[in-house]
Amino acid sequence: MGKKRIGTMAAVALSMMMVLSNTVFASESESPENTIMTEISEYVAEQYGSLSIAEQKELEEEIYQEKYVESAIASMNITDETDENVVDIAYQNMIARETYIAELISLHSGVKTTMDDWEYNLNYLKNHYDEVMAMEAVNGVYVDLYIEDYEIVQATRDMPDTQINGIRARASSYSSSDAVSYAEQYYDTYNTAYPDWTSYGGDCANFISQCLYAGGKSMKGTPGTSTAAQNWSNWFSQGSSCNTSYVSSTWRGANAFKSYWQSNASGYSTFTSVGSSSYSYGYKGDAVSLLNSNGSAYHTLIIVGYDAANKDFIVAAHTGNTKTAHLSNYSPAGGFVIYNMR
């Protein structure tokens, strides 16, 4: 899972030279800096086409400084503690839930089913809900989570892989630095002003929602009813208890979170692997959803830093608490979605 990262000052200095400097032995078209600037220019032209040429050039320089200059300097403070081997608890939890559901349905129906047969499994649970829930020692939390997750997968499977939501401007009310500061403060603790959903399938989406709210994203909807909480157009959390009428599914559930931010982020894009394309797209303060092979989101992260030398991100999360994992430490079978929050 986790690949070993460069940890010495000399190696970091070398990577900075490779990323930031034009070498006298390469032609101008081959220089790493020109390649980087081309990638940034293409991103800005696509995502911020409404800006003037002068504004686009200014934004390009800001992005270059943030992702390559400042991040390279910051990487000099990275130690081997940053190179952790991430235990993807959220993935383990998802496999346990989906294996349980497949075995439960096979037992009840007498027909063998698997994790990949999600449409059959969803319909079966909905059509035989009372019978299944009446089975001895049934895990009702797993059943309800499965139905909630795959109803969303079913409803959103025709969404495009990438989308820009409206005209994007440079100015934003969202503070990525505030979101990142919150993530770094609470990644290994739990803010008692909010409920902890660890025992209900995981706390990842709840934690990242808190980060986005700390960054300036506004809640939407009126807490207090199950109808409002299950409305995928709402996003809210009220109180410190695990009351599903006061915390929307979009706030606490990985799949519902994905559905909400596909429509409410500045834009989003889906990637199959970590590399130049994803690195050009994502920024500190952006949220990330990891997908299983069925397209179901099982984990939610927030970008808190950059690894320019490897075109990778540093991420923070709950349910596998971390603030130093690399996005490439995870291996989501269905890829991942980055939501631009600025």
pLDDT band, very low/low/confident/very high, at 7 (cuts 50, 70, 90):
very low
Residue 167 has a pLDDT of 64
DSSP strand E in 31-185: where? 162-164
Residue 279 has a pLDDT of 94
Asked if 90 and 298 count as a contact pair (C-beta separation under 8 A), the reply is yes
Burial degree of 127 (CB within 10 A; 0-12, 13-18, 19+): exposed
Residue 77 has a pLDDT of 54
Res 82 pLDDT > 70? no
CB atoms within 10 A of CB 5: 20
> What is the residue whose two structure tokens read 């608890």?
89
- Spatial CA neighbour of 75 closest among 305, 330, 315: 305
The angle formed by the CA atoms of residues 207, 212 and 215, to the nearest 5 degrees, is 130
Residue 166 has a pLDDT of 73
Helices (H) then strands (E): counts for the chain: 14, 7
Mean pLDDT of the chain: 87
Residue 73 has a pLDDT of 63
Q: Which two tokens stand for residue 128?
A: 């035989």
Res 24 pLDDT > 70? no
CB atoms within 10 A of CB 99: 13
Residue 305 has a pLDDT of 95
Q: pLDDT tens digit string along 104-162?
A: 999 999 999 999 999 999 999 999 999 999 999 999 999 999 999 999 999 999 999 99
pLDDT band, very low/low/confident/very high, at 14 (cuts 50, 70, 90):
very low
Q: Per-residue pLDDT averaged across 240-249, rounded? A: 96
Q: Per-residue pLDDT averaged across 180-184, rounded? A: 97
| DSSP H or E stretch at residue 228 | helix 226-229
Residue 70 has a pLDDT of 80
> Which domains, ranges and CATH numbers included, belong to the chain?
9-80 (no CATH), 90-156 (no CATH), 161-340 (3.90.1720.10)
Q: Which two tokens stand for residue 100?
A: 């349980």
Res 23 pLDDT > 50? no
Q: Which two tokens stand for residue 289?
A: 């959803």
Q: pLDDT tens digit string along 195-240?
A: 999 988 899 999 999 999 999 999 999 999 999 999 999 999 999 9
Burial degree of 211 (CB within 10 A; 0-12, 13-18, 19+): buried
Strand ranges across the sheet with 162-164? 162-164, 267-271, 336-340, 287-291, 297-307, 312-317, 322-326
Global confidence as pTM: 0.86
Bigger pLDDT: 206 or 6? 206
Beta bridge partners of 288: 301, 338
Q: Per-residue pLDDT averaged across 51-65, rounded? A: 90
The angle formed by the CA atoms of residues 57, 61 and 63, to the nearest 5 degrees, is 115
Q: Per-residue pLDDT averaged across 294-322, rounded? A: 95
Asked if 27 and 18 count as a contact pair (C-beta separation under 8 A), the reply is no
